[in-house]
Copies of this chain bind each other. A is one copy, B any other.
Amino acid sequence: MPNRKPPTMADIARVTGVSPMTVSRAFKGENLISPDTRNAILEAAESLGYVFDATASSLRSQKTDFVAVTIPSVNNANFADTVGGLSDTVAAHGMQILLGYTNYDVVEEERLIEQLLRRKPQAIVVTGGKHTPRARRLLENAHIPIIETWDAPGEPIGHYVGFSNANAVREMVDHLVGVGYRKIAFIGGDASRDTRGSDRRLGFIEALTNHGLDANRLISAGVPPISMREGAEAMARLLKDFPDTEAVICVSDLSAFGALTECQRRQISVPSDIAIGGFGDYEIGDICVPRLTTINVGARQIGVETGRLLLSILDGNSDASNVTIVPRLIVRETTR
């Protein structure tokens, strides 16, 4: 019958005839104790089925090697790419991501941040720059590096790795106007929840206004995140309410693809009858027929840069600087 309790360093110490401290050193690194002792310890550990207890280590050393991360949704290729880039970058330094989903809701985000901070992460990465006052306070009081991503926040709490969603859309509007489109619409979600979506709509309105064009062709597709289906439904409404629309910008490639399918169902030709622009450069936009004009915001890059920034700060580089991502307009086949 196997022992009820899992072995500890003390058990290994006893078996090997050394002190627990030596066992600890054996696990910590290569050159802290003699190679022979170390080998004996590691062998004993393996044969006892020892598993290092990160909880005890964390408590004593006050280092968890956790990085807390909040994203709006699990199921979004853009945020998944960011988390992937971040995870790969920090995992190389032995750090673990602690992930939570806000469901595009700042109240849920506050609850989540509180939960995550109890785990004593070494740093926290949040998506977006809008938080409840209490969430802001919690973050400020945590005394760990804080990185806001996917936004260039007006008042950053700590650092940020982001870009201006408004400017990105503005660039697309400028391009569309430049090639001759005048009656341009926007499909996005309800304004209140998704701040990045709102910023994109704002950029759209400002850009059209700057060109002296009407910015009243705004279709709300429901509560974020906007699905492909909601994009299709919004396109149906757009075609009904503003049948003379020449081009439409969608809040994401997913809704843009949905809008494209609606056109296909109605034998409306894209881009000759109507042009479509997306946002986010998802895989689908590069393969669908016709291929989607979109904006690449370097989702994975955001994660990688966030990881680098964070490691640099934790490394004592206190004047590590923010990263501003420059989104790239990618003109493909859904616009002329």
Q: A residues engaging B (CB < 8 A)?
A: 6, 49, 51-56, 58-59, 64, 74-75, 77, 80-81, 83-84, 87, 96-99, 101, 114-115, 117-120, 137-138, 141-143, 227-229, 232, 257-258, 261, 264-265, 283-284, 286-289
Contacts and interface: CB of A to CB of B under 8 A. Distances in A.
A99 B99 contact: yes
A58 B232 CA distance: 48
Q: How many copies does the complex hold?
A: 2
A288 B49 CA distance: 52
A115 to B, nearest CB: 7
Nearest to A286: B229
Looking at chain A's contact residues, the main secondary structure is helix
A118 B265 contact: no
7 contacts: A51-B117, A51-B141, A55-B59, A59-B59, A75-B80, A96-B119, A232-B287
A129 to B, nearest CB: 22
Contact of A98 (B53, B98, B227): B98
A209 to B, nearest CB: 33
A287 B258 contact: yes
Q: 6 closest pairs, A vs B, by CB?
A: A75-B80, A54-B118, A264-B289, A74-B80, A49-B141, A74-B84
Given A74-B84, A84-B74, A55 B229 contact: no
A42 to B, nearest CB: 13
A229 B117 CA distance: 41
Given A80-B75, A99-B99, A283-B228, A55 B58 contact: yes
A119 B96 CA distance: 10
Given A81-B75, A283-B227, A287-B228, A143 B6 contact: yes
Given A118-B52, A287-B228, A99 B101 contact: no
Contacts of A56: 59
Given A96-B98, A261-B288, A120 B283 contact: no
A210 to B, nearest CB: 34
Contacts of A228: 283-284, 287
Given A55-B55, A55-B59, A97-B99, 13 more contacts: A6-B143, A52-B118, A56-B59, A74-B80, A74-B81, A75-B77, A75-B84, A96-B98, A227-B283, A229-B286, A257-B284, A261-B288, A284-B284
A64 B56 CA distance: 11
Contacts of A265: 289
A222 to B, nearest CB: 15
Contact of A261 (B83, B117, B229, B287): B287
Contacts of A83: 74
A54 B264 CA distance: 54
Contact of A120 (B53, B75, B77, B96): B53
Nearest to A63: B55
Contacts of A284: 228, 257, 284
A332 to B, nearest CB: 13
